[in-house]
Amino acid sequence: METRIIDGNALARKLRESLKTRTTQLTAGGNTPGLAVIIVGENPASKIYVRNKVKACAEVGIHSEHIELPEATSEADLLAHIARLNADPRIHGILVQLPLPKHISTDAVLNAIDPKKDADGFHPMNVGLLATGNPRFAPCTPAGVMAMLEDEGINPWGMNAVVVGASNIVGKPAALLLLQKGATVTICNSKTRDLASHTRAADIVVVATGKVNLVTADMVKEGAVVIDVGMNRNAEGKLCGDADYQGMLGKVSHITPVPGGVGPMTITMLLANTVLSAERVAKTQSR
């Protein structure tokens, strides 16, 4: 079977073009979308992610505010920044890059973000809205996964979907979005016995664990769709995902490469959530 490589860069470019049009319209109406990105500490991977987010904002005409705080920042100081951004009408999306230093409560921080500005979709209210099938902001990486499936014409309705990884950022919301689209969803985690027995039954496998080569070709069925959210370095120091990409070629119907798959889509969906948030504000003004 010929395997289609899902090109995340190409789809991200296409979606960003349409976001640019929406941003231009918003700016003409005096509602330039604004995103604030806060990073605490010196995590090198986080710094690269945040820099890319800020750069992507500029490309589509989103105003961005980049707040870099030292590792020793207190929880109270961080909460004060969030309170200021919650009240700032130029800001429509607030993202606090995770993970946070250990002395800061992630729950307290996520709870403090105005749910209407929660472009990550991590506030418990937005998690609840997603779980009850009425999402206000879908978390960016799973939203990117769903956009890729849709663009490929893959309708999850009635399919078996297996999500490997149960994080709040990717696995759990990805499972909820697939469920909402009519898939029969299994969520596997690091304790799952006989992972292959689950993945082999899947029409769609979403893998998000951070473990190199966790899902190999013998673990998926012929013609499955493999979405690889992993971002790792292999023994040679090369970027790679959680699935054995080379081994899957010729067996699966679709696969996302790493890099160039889900990664560029995550940032695009963050931009999309920010634009959506600004459009909601614009709509309340026009009433």
Total binding residues toward ligand GUN, as defined by CB under 6 A: 8
Q: Is 97 a catalytic residue?
A: yes
Q: List the catalytic residue out of 117, 118, 120, 181.
A: 120
Smallest separation (angstroms) from ligand GUN to the CB of 191: 22
Smallest separation (angstroms) from ligand GUN to the CB of 255: 21
Could you tell me which of 170, 41, 31, 39 has the C-alpha nearest to residue 95? 39
Q: List the catalytic residue out of 53, 117, 172, 181.
A: 53
Smallest separation (angstroms) from ligand GUN to the CB of 253: 27
Interacting residue with ligand GUN among 40, 57, 169, 214 (CB under 6 A): 169
How far, in Å, CA of 139 to CA of 270, rounded?
Answer: 8
Residue 140 engages ligand GUN in binding (rule: CB under 6 A): yes
CB 199 within 8 A of CB 227: no
Residue 118 engages ligand GUN in binding (rule: CB under 6 A): no
Token readout for 208 is 């998000």
Which CB atom, from 170 or from 224, has the smaller least distance to ligand GUN?
170
Residue 262 engages ligand GUN in binding (rule: CB under 6 A): no
E strands, 63-203, are 63-69, 93-96, 160-164, 184-188
Residues 67-106: x where in contact with ligand GUN by CB under 6 A, - otherwise, as a string = ----------------------------xxxx--------
Q: Is 120 a catalytic residue?
A: yes
CB 161 within 8 A of CB 180: no
Interacting residue with ligand GUN among 31, 126, 141, 273 (CB under 6 A): 141
Helix (H, G, I), strand (E, B) or coil at 6: coil
Which CB atom, from 252 or from 262, has the smaller least distance to ligand GUN?
262
Here the contacts of 57-61 (C-beta below 8 Å, separation 24 or greater) are: 57/271, 57/274, 59/16, 59/20, 60/16, 60/19, 60/20, 60/23, 60/271, 60/275, 61/20, 61/23, 61/24, 61/27, 61/32, 61/33
Please report, as ranges, the residues that interact with ligand GUN according to CB under 6 A: 95-98, 120, 140-141, 169
Q: Catalytic residue positions? A: 53, 97, 120
